[in-house]
Amino acid sequence: MNTQELQEIIGYRFCRPDLLERALSHSSWANEHKEPRGSNERLEFLGDSVLGFLAAEYLFRSYPQKPEGELTKLRAAAVCEPALSAYAKSISLGEALLLGKGEAATGGGSRPSILADAFEALLAAMYLDGGIEPARHFILGFLKEGTEHPAMVDSKTELQQIVQQTPEESVDYVLVDESGPDHNKCFVVEVRLHSNVLGVGRGHSKKVAEQEAAREALRLMGI
């Protein structure tokens, strides 16, 4: 996946494409290509702090009755490596990463630690490119998901497995609405089985909206 496709998925267009490229550059790639700007490790360092602040702010505002100890636990669940890796997978971030030959050959694009670090680097790149508001808008949907559903189940896969209990059946995800400027998009997706709408989802990216649609379909099925 190229950077243009990734920007479409995340609903944000970079004014400085070099920041995005650096966020996608794993150390194995940077070392092989002797990249003078280095890898995404410095951005990952910054992204960790940006993520921590935005997670704390979101929880502080969203749960006014919860004490500090509970907020700390919620934040830990929302920003842990498994959660960040799942967020990255939901936007197909692994497909856009620049990896060295050895790392790519051993499945580095799906390794949780690499995905989690790249997700933080992407958040930092967005912050440096557009400021705190685009970064906040980008991360809010993930934080909501991470705090309400800490396991971050892949609902699309779960729904497909259920549907495929009937041989040769499959669902389709249809984009029915798209609104807002490039840095603040809202996508509406329906998941359909033949002509029947099983669920509707909304999100800051198509991938998130599809997951929400699948999750609603599962909920309506009583799962």
19, 47, 86, 202, 204 from 110: Cα distances, Å: 22, 20, 10, 26, 23
| Residues 114, 74: Cα–Cα separation, whole Å | 23
Contacts of 102 (CB under 8 A, 6+ apart): 28
Alpha helices in 63-131 (DSSP H): 68-79, 81-90, 101-105, 112-130
* Phi and psi at residue 191, to the nearest 5°: -100, 125
Q: Choosing from 103, 117, 120, 210, which is the catalytic residue? A: 120
What Rg, from alpha-carbon coordinates, does the chain have?
Answer: 18
- 177 carries an active-site annotation: no
Q: Distance between CA atoms of 148 and 162, rounded to whole angstroms?
A: 23
The residue count for the chain: 223
Count of other CB atoms within 10 angstroms of residue 93: 27
Catalytic-role residue among 48, 129, 212, 216: 48
3-state secondary structure of 183: helix
Q: Where are the alpha helices (DSSP H) in 132-205?
A: 132-148, 155-163
158 is catalytic: no
Residues assigned a catalytic role:
48, 120
